[in-house]
Structure 1
Amino acid sequence: MNGPQPLPADSRATPLTGVRIALVGPLPPPAGGIANQTEQLARLLREAGAEVELVQVNAAPRPAWLGAVRGLRAALRLAPYLCRLWRAAGRAQLVHVMANSGWSWHLHAAPAIWIARWRGKGVLVNYRGGEAMTFLKRRAAVVRYSMARAHALIVPSAFLAEVFSLHGMSAQIVPNIVDLARFYPAGPAAAPATILVARHLEPLYDQATALRAFAIVRRSLPEARLTICGDGPELQRLQQLAHTLALGAALRFTGKLDNAAMAALYRQSSLALNPSLADNMPISILEAWASGVPVVSTAVGGVPYLVRDGVNGLLVPPQDAQSMAEAMLAILLAPQLARTLAEAGKLEARRYAWQQVAPLLLAQYRRVLRRPPAGGYTALVSRLLFPLHEMLKQHRSVALRRQMEHSQWWPPERLEALRVQRLRALLLHTSEHVPYFRQLYASHDFDVTRVQDLRDLRSLPIIHKADINHHRDEFVADNAGPLQRFNTGGSSGEPLIFYQGKDRVSHDVAAKWRATRWWGVDIGDREALMWGSPIELKAQDRWRMRRDRLLRSLLLPAFDLSAARLDDYLRRLQRQRPAMLFGYPSAMCLLVKHAQARRIALDGLGVKVVFVTAERLYDEQRALLEQAFAAPVANGYGGRDAGFLAHECPEGGMHITAEDVILEIVDAQGAPVAPGDSGAIVVTHLASRDFPFIRYATGDVGALDTCPCPCGRGLPLLKRVEGRVTDFVVARDGTVMHGLALIYVLRDLPQIRAFKIIQENLDITRVLLVSVSGLPALIRIDIIRQFRARLGASVEILIEEVAEIPAEASGKHRYVISKVVAN
């Protein structure tokens, strides 16, 4: 079956149960980094519930004697490999390709990408190998051509991520895995100075320099011993060098060892040496750390990204036998240093256990499995009809969305540089073309040419809705193009009238489009939107109605939700069978409760995701919607004024649209709060040149998150959005609390169907409620008691029973409104 494949319904609990994966890569023998990782990954994925089919790229040719001819061996392997790959890709949902540099890329990885795409399957490329920098310098264009067909690229280290970034490819870091059950410390080594080198005997790993360094070590430690394990073409040359250096019985070549013997050898060693000339993220270093063995390594490739010199290992220049020997002696002659490095290494090794790496890998699997449809009517709309629509409206949303889907994977530092660049351009433009800001900069002696950091914005005052309403004409740029009038509904206490140009609209459309695609749906999939106001309905002319039918979009106005209208909406949803729902969480929860009262099941509609926005999403609302529609709920945050600010990804991170907005969290005095603390949200929209929003107070309260999201996107995160300022109530003694403190009193009472709390002032709070059959006196008394316990004993609580709770003009249903301004 072609196209994206759904994850199991219980993907949150058992994320890989029943997922079919074709794992393409080498297998031992010979044992090596990629081969061992492929074998280990297959076992771990199966233990996690996945159905894994291994497609081995290095199977021995038949007859076996032909394998001795290197070029012929590769040719004889290729045809059987491609046949196995074709069959496995047909059975799989996802093809995971373990890729390497050189001919391995051309003969194994690239064909796997193309065959998987021809068969309509998701492709994840897991690129490894320390020679990537050299390989990509020569073959970047060829690699890019095939990599463009992959749905995700992962690498094990920041070093490789930077290498690919230099060639225009974004890679996510999913580290190598070390088996802590197999590799573990076992007390002191049997011999006082036992050195282990665990790399294949190939020129790249430069065991020759290791032998010369060992010879120097023996001058100070004659009892020292060196063990070199592995096999390869360098064996004879190394044996000859060992004879020349008179190493004798102090040196042992073990040849090939199985995993169990290898783990035992680490535990018998007092130092692990990595002498390689090029490297990425050596498994041997992880295994040494896990075994409690201190490490000396050359500072090549990705090793300095892994080993911190003097902290969890010692780094030396490549091919420098003297420095290598001095580093080894520093450890062998200083037991305290050896213990310190070993302890730091053991702590570091825990980061590479399967329990730590699995969430990062599964996030990339979900990214591939939830990719938007590649064919059918949806693809026709998203690739042709909607781009044509945007072109006719002179919007750049198509190109912007493509750029954003690339930049979302940039590291935070690169995104920060982009934002500073765009901020400087916006400030310079407004200083020349926007009267309000030209005067503002002059009055605050603000020099836009000196802005070098996002923090420089703090020199400017925060702008509120009243500032825009009182100086609206002065906010319009004198070189603005066509402008469209907008207004907010005033849910924060004051409505706002403002304007937007085509560039601002294009950016907001692109940002929303990108976030929608995170969830495996796209423009053109059937959708139902539950929001809108009577004002918006008047704009539903014939052209727009035809456009919506073409895009398979169904609008269900949320401003009037009577029982008869909700019945009609349920019938229309059953006919539409939307793949995605958009709307206010409160309105959709009313619809769900109405369906439950009518005993109408919604979990068979085929909804893939429920997008909620414009209101605070409460935990109980998320749970209700997810259970009712049997689909995840994705929270979005933004507004017509501030723009599309943030959206939740499938891994739970609330990603800020960093390419377009700068989001600050400030306290009551306008100073930045500590990361993770709550405060007022202030936004600068970098695409608002025609009618600028610079340090604009949204009226919302939230907090930033400092923890990265497992999805790997470099976009910064919102930790939470707690609601509008007016969603907070103020007690008689001045204590500020979220409206949840009062909501919890009413929410679970079975006698109450709906409610709304309005804090008129510090002395009076009204409660509008719809009861089932009249509110009992004891319940009324208890509500008043609990409200007064929170707001103050002298506060008057007025309970008014009504037939229904009217929605806001926009269709939103707000539980709490406070007219008290918190200090």
Structure 2
Amino acid sequence: MKEAHAAFDAILSIPEGKYQDYLVTQRSEIVNFHLKNNPFYRKLIGKNSVENWNDLPVLTKKELQQPLTNRLSDGYSQKNVFVNKTSGSSGDPFVFAKDKQAHALTWASILHRFGWYGIDFNTSYQARFYGIPLDFIGYRKERLKDFLGHRYRFPIFDLSDAFLEKVLKHFRSKKFDYINGYTSSIVLFAKFLQTKNIILKEICPTLKVCMVTSEMLFDDDKTLLKTQFGIPIVNEYGASELDLIAFQNPNGEWQVNSETLFLEILDENNQPVPNGQEGRIVITSLYNKAHPFIRYDIGDIGILDERSTPKKPILKKLIGRTNDVALLPSGKKSPGLTFYYVTKSIIEDDGNVKEFVIRQTKIDTFEIDYVSEKELTSEQIKGIQEAIDNYLEPGLQFSYHRKNSLLRNSRGKLKQFISELT
């Protein structure tokens, strides 16, 4: 870590005027390394050198769904690398590896950004809203890691009021410095506090900041969190196989990690689009020699701000996942989050509905599963239908199912739009 911090600080010291040269050089070095030392990547490219960066193929998750040993660079094995598995939130999970230097640089990047808010991983106490393995060994292993990592974990598979009451009790008795975890679970805790008219900072004065990750943070949810927690709310966007991708800086900008990653926004022909235009988020890991992540399609759609520079790219908007697209009878394709935005503004206005997800079961049929104090009213249902007709297209059929809880994946993430069309 000492070497990684020094290397990271050296990258930070590169002036804006020379940063593009740094990116070009580092991109070239990582590509040439994998062309020389990684049979998997050399076969993907089909030749030993590439002149034009934009001629490099885009690496997809499907191509990575093969044994890890097939994808490791020469000189690396599962014994001398960091190995982990993606969450599978995109529907395409796979095992990946990072060499030790790249993994250490990832942590240097994380420590640097959390430091913007006065958080020190060695001393700051974290309230962690995450999933946890339920088998005995996995559970104890994570609890030990939490203890060593100076954090207390709240498993998020049970988010009933009874459980949230226990969470609240911990905040009354423990000196937490910050909150970190999945957006939907933290939002649900904030709604619980709202019903009790409690400001979290007032009962846990040591709290400084809350970082939410892994799921979309909507503007009204961010307002709710700021109100009920009484602390700054920071939006984090990352991927376990890469690094922190973007992290909200103290000026409120979603600053892209340009130190260890190179982020592109590409069109359907794998060519870069101008800043301000929407496209697929494609990322290159500049230092991972054990495993190639070069022009890697992470599966998200986003927009870079027009003010972006090589050293300080700014993510203007994260629209959603490329596989979260609703196909409509008219032939129109609409991001699934469009439905979520429209219905959210209507069914959550009175605080009755705690959470909901939308599932597309047929080309014209959608089902909404929701958790609430009471059933949706006919007026709310009518309002949703009118909004959908207006924003998308008329004739779509919706059914509503009130649930005691919503299905989360094995890590506790809540997928807010699901297409069940083949």
User: What's the TM-score once normalised by structure 1's chain length?
Assistant: 0.47
One-letter amino acid matched to 1:539:
G
Q: Are 2:277 and 1:707 equivalent residues in the alignment?
A: no
CA 1:416 to 1:559, structure 2 compared with 1: closer, same or farther past 3 Å? farther
Counterpart Cα distance in 2 of 1:762 and 1:566: 38
List gaps (5 residues or longer) in structure 2: none
Mark the CA change 1:704 to 1:776 in structure 2 (over 3 Å): closer, same or farther. Answer: closer
Deviations 1:640-693 (A, max 9, x none): 123221211101222222121111101223221111111110011112211111
Moved over 6 A (4+): none
Residue in 2 aligned with 1:526?
125
Task: Describe how 1:8-407 pairs up with structure 2 within 5 A.
Answer: 397-407=1-11
- Matched with 2:328 is 731
Amino acid at match of 2:315: L
Query: Which residue of structure 2 lines up, in the alignment, with residue 721 of structure 1?
Result: 318
In structure 1, distance between residues paired with 2:157 and 2:16? 41
Query: Does residue 447 in structure 1 map to residue 23 in structure 2?
Result: no
Q: State the match for 2:105 in structure 1.
A: 507
Structure 2 letter corresponding to 1:815: Q
CA change 1:406–1:425 in 2 (3 A) is closer
Q: What is the distance in 1 between the residues matched to 2:137 and 2:267?
A: 40
Pairing of 1:472-621 with structure 2 (within 5 A): 472-481=68-77, 482-523=80-121, 524-534=123-133, 538-541=137-140, 545=143, 548-549=146-147, 551-604=149-202, 605=204, 606-621=206-221
Looking at structure 1, the residues matched to 297 and 271 of structure 2 have their Cα atoms a distance apart, in angstroms, of 13
| CA 1:785–1:561: 2 relative to 1, 3 Å | same
Q: Deviations over 1:385-435 (max 9, x none)?
A: xxxxxxxxxxxx333234434533532332322222222221122112211
One-letter identity of the residue aligned with 2:249: C
SS in 2 for 1:807: coil
Distance 2:238 2:174 in 1: 27
CA deviation string 1:575-605 (max 9, x = no partner): 2221111111211111111122234330222
Corresponding residue of 1:220: none
Deviation, 1:459, is 0.6
Q: Could you tell me whether the CA contact under 8 Å between 2:249 and 2:255 is conserved in 1?
A: yes
State the number of aligned residues: 413
| CA offsets 1:294-319 (integer angstroms, 9 cap, x no match) | xxxxxxxxxxxxxxxxxxxxxxxxxx
Question: Which of 757, 762, 775 lines up with 2:363 in the alignment?
Answer: 762
CA distance in 1, matches of 2:244, 2:86: 14
Q: Which amino acid aligns with 2:210?
A: V
Q: Indicate the residue corresponding to 1:363 in structure 2.
A: none
Whose strand proportion is higher, 1 or 2?
Answer: 2
- 1:639 deviation in Å? 1.0
Matched, 1:753 2:354: yes
Residue pair 1:415, 1:658 contacting (<8 A) in 2 also: no
Q: Which amino acid aligns with 1:699?
A: G
What's the secondary structure of 1:664's corresponding residue?
strand
Seen in structure 2, the aligned counterparts of structure 1 residues 535 and 704 have a Cα distance that, compared at 3 Å, is farther
The whole-number CA distance in structure 2 between the counterparts of 1:761 and 1:499 is 38
Cα contact 1:768–1:805 (8 A) shared by 2 = yes
Look up the SS of the partner of 2:357 in the other structure: strand
* CA displacement at 1:466 relative to structure 2: 0.8
Note closer, same or farther for the CA distance 1:476–1:762 as it changes in structure 2 (3 Å cut): same
Structure 2 partner of 1:232 = none
Name the structure 2 match of 1:427. Answer: 31
Looking at structure 1, the residues matched to 114 and 272 of structure 2 have their Cα atoms a distance apart, in angstroms, of 31
Residue identity opposite 1:697 in structure 2: D
- Letter in structure 1 aligned against 2:26: R
Amino acid across the alignment from 2:414: H
Per-residue CA shift, 1:532-552, capped at 9, x if unaligned? 23269853546x645643543
Shift of 1:514: 0.6
- Partner of residue 376, structure 2: 775
1:164 alignment counterpart:
none
Cα 1:754/1:549, change in 2 over 3 Å: closer
Contact 1:760 1:819 in 2 (8 A): yes
Query: Structure 2 counterpart of 1:717, which letter?
Result: I
* SS of aligned partner of 1:644: strand
Give the superposition deviation at 1:608.
1.0
2:388: which partner in 1? 787
Root mean square deviation of aligned Cα: 2.6
Q: Within 1, Cα distance between the matches of 2:149 and 2:300?
A: 33
Task: State which of 259, 264, 281 in structure 2 corresponds to 1:664.
Answer: 264
Note if contact 1:731-1:790 (Cα within 8 Å) is conserved in structure 2.
Answer: no
Secondary structure in 2 aligned to 1:539? Answer: helix
**Which protein shows a greater Rg?**
1
TM-score, scaled relative to structure 2: 0.89
Is the partner of 2:27 in helix, strand or coil? helix
Contact 1:527 1:578 in 2 (8 A): yes
Could you tell me which amino acid in structure 2 is paired with residue 567 of structure 1? E
Once the two structures are superposed, residues 124-168 of structure 1 have per-residue CA deviations (whole angstroms, 9 ceiling, x without a partner) of: xxxxxxxxxxxxxxxxxxxxxxxxxxxxxxxxxxxxxxxxxxxxx
In structure 2, relative to structure 1, the CA distance for the partners of 1:643 and 1:745 (3 Å cut) is: same
1:615–1:723 CA contact under 8 A, matched in 2: no
CA contact (8 A) 1:525 1:551 kept: no
8 Å CA contact 1:705, 1:718 repeated in 2: yes
- Sort the Cα spacing of 1:533 and 1:473 in 2 relative to 1 into closer, same or farther, 3 A: same
- Alignment correspondent of 1:282: none
Q: 1:471 & 1:548 partners in 2: Cα distance?
A: 30
* Preserved contact between residue 275 and residue 303 of structure 2 (Cα < 8 Å): yes
Q: In 1, distance between residues paired with 2:106 and 2:186?
A: 24
Asked whether 1:414 is paired with 2:18, we answer yes
CA distance in 1, matches of 2:240, 2:135: 13
1:743 corresponds to 2:344: yes
1:467 matched to 2:63? The reply is yes
Query: In the superposition, relative to structure 1, how do residues 788 and 799 fare at CA in structure 2: closer, same or farther (>3 Å)?
Result: farther
Residues 346, 380 of structure 2: 8 Å contact kept = no
Distance change (3 Å), C-alpha of 1:473 and 1:819: farther
How far the C-alpha of 1:610 sits from its partner, in A, is 0.9
